[in-house]
Structure 1
Amino acid sequence: MSPILQWFFRNRKTGEITIAQAPNLVLWVVIVAGVLHWIWPWPGASAMVLDIIFRGGLVVWALDEIFRGVNPWRRCLGGVVLVYELAILL
């Protein structure tokens, strides 16, 4: 693997290559809200609440990855998700 790719994917805490990680609590909330919204797609207050939880959770997760990501890849991933969510909101 080239030195640039090693730098991009190398976990700064463990020294191993990290591309994906187990979901943290915020991402689990996003996953559950997304599945419930997918199962319950009818318009109404509950669907709106699930959508707010889903999108808000993704913004929180993205900010967490930007500031506390273990490598540049994870930080870029958080940045892309944040830009996407902000583009949808605006």
Structure 2
Amino acid sequence: MENTFFNQVFRDREGKIVLAQMPNLPLIVWIGASLLKIIFTTGRINIGLDILAFGSLFTWAWEELFQGVNYFRRALGFVVLISLMAWKIQ
């Protein structure tokens, strides 16, 4: 296989193109907590779900940034991590 820019960015070690994967535990927890926040819109439960959703998405982004299977997934983790921090700062 040629060592092109496309191959370096989108292929994993086995040579497969990887853009999306099955959700891992932090992503599943984020989806669940985010959906529950729609039901519990106020109170302590909402605050707890917000913290859980933020923490799990932060964990997913951190893992992708440092353990992603290719440069695309690592860049995706970086973008989500920066977006999370910008969203919390505002």
Name the TM-score, length of structure 1 as normaliser: 0.89
- What are the equivalent positions in structure 2 for 1:1-90 lying under 5 Å apart? 3-12=4-13, 14-41=14-41, 43-90=42-89
Shift of 1:23: 0.4
Deviation larger for 31-40 or 48-57: 31-40
Shift of 1:6: 2.2
Residue 9 of structure 1 aligns to which amino acid in structure 2? F
Question: What SS does the aligned partner of 2:54 have?
Answer: helix
Using the alignment, how far apart are the partners of 1:20 and 1:56 within structure 2? Answer: 21
Residue 7 of structure 2 aligns to which amino acid in structure 1? Q
Using the alignment, how far apart are the partners of 2:67 and 2:44 within structure 1? Answer: 34
Residue 68 of structure 1 aligns to which amino acid in structure 2? Q
CA RMSD of aligned residues (A): 1.0
* Per-residue CA distance 1:30-61 (angstroms, 9 max, x = gap): 111011112322x1100000000001111111
Using the alignment, how far apart are the partners of 2:17 and 2:36 within structure 1? Answer: 33
- Aligned identity (percent) is 43
Question: What SS does the aligned partner of 2:6 have?
Answer: helix
Runs of 4+ in 1 over 3 A off after TM superposition: none
